[in-house]
Amino acid sequence: MESSQSSDQNEVSASETPTSSVSSPYRRTYSDFSGLSHRFDVQSFYNRPSNTDSVVMSSHEEDLSEDAAAESKDNNVDDGDDQDSDIDSAEDAELEMMRERFAKLLLGEDMSGSGKGVCTAVTVSNSITNLYATVFGQSLRLQPLSTEKKDLWKREMNCFMSICDYIVEVIPKTLGNNVEITETKLRSDILMNLPALRKLDNMLMDILDSFTENEFWYVERGSSSMNSNNGGRDSGSFRKVVVQRKDEKWWLPVPCVPAEGLSEDERKHLRHKRDCANQIHKAALAINDSTLNDMDIPDSYLTTLPKSGKASVGDVIYKQLCTAEKFYPDQLLDILKISSEHEALELADKVEASLVTWRRKTGGLTHSRSSWDMMKDMSGDAGNDKNNILAARARSLLFCLKQRFPELSQTSLDICKIQFNRDVGKAVLESYSRVLEGLAYNVVSWIDDVLYVDRTVRNRDD
């Protein structure tokens, strides 16, 4: 009898297998529940083929076995329902978040619904900026993103990028017998820049994912862990140098390396990733500058400009721009001795204002300028007109200033353009390139911090 009961229980256990799965395109990857729905198929259990080798049981034993099977079925059905409810709750949370984002996009971030919100382009730009702050705001060290944040970034950015799939331009096409038709294709700036930004995004994620098994580590500044042994690794001998270097960024964690410094392979890996991140930063910066230059200059900005460019830049800079036969922007920046980002931003605003003023006087100022026009300005091919020459030199000075201060914030003109921009496609390209530019610059800075600590330790040992 015992053998027959055991055989029957085994049959029940074998039939209690997952028979269906639940999937959703919006579900995050959670680790606390499974994506499978463990439902018990009652009909398949009762209609299962009989086991010819089983021993015939008495009616009392059959009743006991059926009661145990029914109880087991009820338990499994309850477990499956609990897991289904967890999955449904996660899906409901995702859909509710999507509804909220969609509502804010339509309302222009004006929850009163009175129509006083910002335009769609500004809403999209703000949303991408806020998403970047949510995902990367607490990322202050060289390490991979968590799975949840990475999925959030990809899912949300795919939603914003899908807007560009419907931004097209109409082009004529000639068929045979002189028949002309029109067809649509993605707008040229989106077709050229959006795939490049996606590739830069993936490359940055790959760089962060490569820092899994590192020879360096981090400790929080001022925490008790700075005095710990960190698993046998000594950081106290060079901690003072790191703190002195980062007094202006006290919120950043302190990188630490072994007492003998990093291995040669680790240093090569860091330098390689730094070069890659630096190239990504330059590419994102170029796309961002190109997009901003294609945006219209708002009338509200033009009304605030002085009548002369000299009044914007001041006598010292104006004299250098006018009198020098051959203009060298690097030498002018050395003369000015800019010591802080605040001074650099103030100078950038003044130079940009004078640039727009001189361009207006030449009659060649359009609300948006092509990249070829900017290249001609920086190369000095601006004609013999004095205003053209001043505008070209101001452009080269501004370009050199941004190269010297890559962490420079946006100028007043850039902020004004973004605020009054109505082109959704340009808003997506500008905000996407801006956040990638910031992330790439942070990666370069974090790698520089680790290499600085390593260099300090090796110099101390020598």
Q: Which residues contact 347 (CB under 8 A, 6 or more apart)?
A: 336, 338, 401
Kindly indicate the confidence band of residue 29, based on its pLDDT and cuts at 50, 70 and 90: very low
CB-CB contact of 30 with 95 (8 Å): no
* 461 vs 11: which has the higher pLDDT: 461
DSSP string, 222-248: TSGGGGS-TTT---TTTHHHHHHHTGG
- The mean per-residue pLDDT over the stretch 426-430 comes to 96
The predicted model scores a pTM of 0.71
* 332 vs 55: which has the higher pLDDT: 332
Kindly indicate the confidence band of residue 43, based on its pLDDT and cuts at 50, 70 and 90: very low
Instruction: Examine the pLDDT at 329 and tell me if it is beyond 80.
Output: yes
* 15 vs 429: which has the higher pLDDT: 429
**Residue 222 has what pLDDT?**
59
Residues 350-367 pLDDT 10s: 999 999 999 888 775 554
Question: In percent, how much of the chain has pLDDT > 70?
Answer: 69
Distances (CA, A) of 306 to 76, 278, 388, 397, 436: 78, 37, 18, 20, 35
CA distance 175 to 152: 46
Residues 197-227 pLDDT 10s: 999 999 999 999 999 989 999 988 655 445 4
DSSP string, 30-72: -SSS-SEE----HHHHHTSPP-TTSPPPPHHHHHHHHHHHHHH
**Nearest Cα residue to 256 out of 223, 220, 222, 212:** 220
Residues 162-211 pLDDT 10s: 889 999 988 888 777 777 788 888 999 999 999 999 999 999 999 999 99
**Residue 79 has what pLDDT?**
57
**Residue 78 has what pLDDT?**
56
Helix (H, G, I), strand (E, B) or coil at 173: strand
DSSP state of 172: E
Kindly indicate the confidence band of residue 345, based on its pLDDT and cuts at 50, 70 and 90: very high
Average pLDDT of the chain, as a whole number = 76
Residues 1-21 pLDDT 10s: 444 444 444 444 444 434 333
Kindly indicate the confidence band of residue 267, based on its pLDDT and cuts at 50, 70 and 90: very high
Q: Which two tokens stand for residue 121?
A: 């382009």
CB-CB contact of 245 with 448 (8 Å): no
**Residue 105 has what pLDDT?**
75
Distances (CA, A) of 393 to 98, 138, 317: 48, 40, 11
Total residues found in the chain within this entry: 462
Helix (H, G, I), strand (E, B) or coil at 426: helix
**Residue 429 has what pLDDT?**
96
Instruction: Examine the pLDDT at 128 and tell me if it is beyond 90.
Output: yes
32-41, 241-250, 257-266, 319-328: which has the highest mean pLDDT? Answer: 257-266
Per 3-state DSSP, the chain is made up of helix, strand and coil in percentages (nearest 5) of 65, 5, 30
| Burial (Cβ within 10 Å: 0-12, 13-18, ≥19) of residue 235 | buried
CA distance 188 to 350: 33
| Burial (Cβ within 10 Å: 0-12, 13-18, ≥19) of residue 429 | buried
Instruction: Examine the pLDDT at 63 and tell me if it is beyond 60.
Output: no
Q: Which residue has the tokens 């931003």?
A: 345
